[in-house]
Each structure stands twice: as C-alpha cells, then as structure tokens.
C-alpha cells in the first residue's frame, strides 16, 4: 500500500498515488516536501542554475540545458544512453 503524505489516502500502487497527487496536489511541491533527499536536486550539475522538474519518479533534470548536459556527459558520465535531458 502507498499513502499520500498530505491527505493520508491509501492506494494499491505508486502509479495510483502519482495520479492522485497530480490531480489533487501540486506534484513539484509534493516532491520537494516529501521525496527530495538532496538539497542540490533541482540545480544544474555544471552551473548551479535551476533545472526543470520531470515527475515524481525522476525528480529534476540534472542540467539546465542541452549544452550543459553535453558538458556533464563529457566530464562525469561519458555514457550517452543513461543521461536524462
């Protein structure tokens, strides 16, 4: 069972919980309040600018733009298949 941490409603799975949060609550605020584990989430790994929120499962993008995304790949990851834009 999954439980919404705002209204304490229970759901059979994470997909149902995610749909509930998207419909009744602000998804980004829910993530920031209850799921975010690192205070640097949402900041570009290269330049520290704000990045876009993706969804509850993935959180935020790792970089603020495609250009910094390629820099990040070249510097740290070097695996084009695993990077999220």
Closest CA to 61 of 77, 42, 46: 42
Residue 81 has pLDDT above 80, yes or no: no
Write down the domain spans for the chain: 1-35, 39-85
Q: How far apart are CA 77 and CA 17, in angstroms?
A: 32
Bridge partners (DSSP) of residue 50 are 43
Q: What is the pLDDT of residue 68?
A: 85
Q: What's the average model confidence in pLDDT over 21-38? A: 94
**Phi, psi at residue 55, to the nearest 5°?**
-165, 180
pTM over 0.85: no
Q: Do the beta carbons of residue 43 and residue 59 sit within 8 Å?
A: no
Q: Do the beta carbons of residue 18 and residue 46 sit within 8 Å?
A: no
Q: What is the pLDDT of residue 32?
A: 95
Q: Do the beta carbons of residue 53 and residue 29 sit within 8 Å?
A: no
Q: What is the pLDDT of residues 33-79, one digit of tens each?
A: 999 988 899 999 999 999 999 999 999 999 999 888 888 887 875 65
């Amino acid at each position: 069972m999954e439980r919404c941490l705002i209204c304490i409603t229970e759901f059979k799975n994470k997909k149902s919980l995610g749909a509930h949060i998207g419909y009744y609550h602000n998804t980004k605020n829910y993530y920031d309040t209850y799921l975010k584990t690192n205070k640097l989430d949402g900041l570009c790994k290269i330049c520290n600018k704000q990045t876009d929120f993706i969804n509850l499962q993935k959180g935020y993008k790792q970089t603020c733009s495609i250009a910094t995304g390629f820099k990040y790949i070249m510097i740290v990851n070097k695996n084009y298949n695993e990077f999220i834009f």
